[in-house]
Structure 1
Amino acid sequence: MNTTELKKSISTIIDTSSNTETKLQNICDFLKQEINYYDWVGFYFKNGNKNELKLAQFSGEPTEHTIIPFGKGICGQVAVSNKNFIVQDVASQDNYISCGWKVKSEIVIPIFINNENIGQIDIDSHTVNPFTKDDENLLEFVCEKVAKIL
């Protein structure tokens, strides 16, 4: 993974896409296309004043998990903990919401604005143990860039 080139491309998407929704969709599409073990890429954001996340833009198979309560599943846990969460094998997680039998691992990175967790990027992979520090670093960069356009 060439994170330097990927970061440049993400910056270009943010600088050239027309509106926020298009930028987010283009980021999802780009990451899914460029990283072969990113099988589902999506953004979840806090749903108003509710203690739940609402699915926004994504790339991959449709999911029934369009609303996730805080604390439930990996995404819901990140909404509460405010920390990155990497699950290399979802079978080892008790508090996991299955998005399909193909999903083997997941990485979720929160998005902060003024030190408040307002959402996250969520990546599902059909591969066990695919995520490295490079993935975490790249996705933290994506979240920092996204925070600036929201």
Structure 2
Amino acid sequence: MYTAIDYSNVPTEKYSQLTKQLDALLSGEPNRYANLSNASALLNQFFDRINWVGFYLMDGNDELVLGPFQGLPACIRIPLGRGVCGTAAAEGKTILVPDVNQFPGHIACDAASRSEIVVPLVKDGEVLGVLDIDSPELNRFNEDDQKGLEEVVKILIKHL
């Protein structure tokens, strides 16, 4: 099964540095797509042992559409409630998946992906989309990553 956990502790020092870098990088730029593009590039540089990092954005009320990303070509549209991304968007909470093959209804955009973390982008109570990061390793992400990425998303939301 998958784990949907709510942690509220302070992120580790490495994530503190990442949030500062992200805030500085996006400061003063009002364009959402430029900011999401730079955020995906920065996250791609920050993480090792990943094969995809990017965003899916709400398109209407019932599906996500592919946004800026780093990695191989990906699924273009994901219905709300389907797969890890659609479930995280529908539930409005982070989903940490140690083994994607154990997640009911997992959508395999890249057969190499073995673990995944998805953090919803919520602004003023509205889900704008999700941050999705995949790894070819099982159990790549942990609670520290979840807490840290939730802080990263808080900074990102300020610039969207």
Find the counterpart in structure 2 of residue 54 from structure 1: 65
Find the counterpart in structure 2 of residue 67 from structure 1: 77
SS in 1 for 2:27: helix
Does residue 1:112 correspond to 2:122, yes or no?
Answer: yes
Query: Number of residues paired by the alignment?
Result: 148
Deviations 1:18-44 (A, max 9, x none): 733222111111111221023211111
CA contact (8 A) 1:120 1:143 kept: no
Alignment of 1:1-150 (within 5 A): 2-15=14-27, 19-48=31-60, 50-63=61-74, 65-150=75-160
The CA RMSD over aligned residues, in Å, is 1.6
Higher relative contact order at CA 8 Å, sep ≥6: structure 1 or structure 2? 2
SS in 2 for 1:11: helix
Find the counterpart in structure 1 of residue 8 from structure 2: none
> C-alpha distance in 2, partners of 1:132/1:23?
26
* TM-score where L is the length of structure 1: 0.90
SS in 2 for 1:106: strand
Unmatched 5+ residue regions in structure 2? 1-11
CA contact (8 A) 2:94 2:120 kept: yes
Runs of 4+ in 1 over 4 A off after TM superposition: none
> C-alpha distance in 1, partners of 2:119/2:113?
17
CA contact (8 A) 1:31 1:38 kept: no
SS in 2 for 1:28: helix
* TM-score where L is the length of structure 2: 0.85
> C-alpha distance in 2, partners of 1:85/1:34?
20
SS in 1 for 2:109: coil
> C-alpha distance in 2, partners of 1:16/1:34?
22
Unmatched 5+ residue regions in structure 1? none
TM-aligned CA distance change 1:83 to 1:38, over 3 Å: same
SS in 2 for 1:3: helix
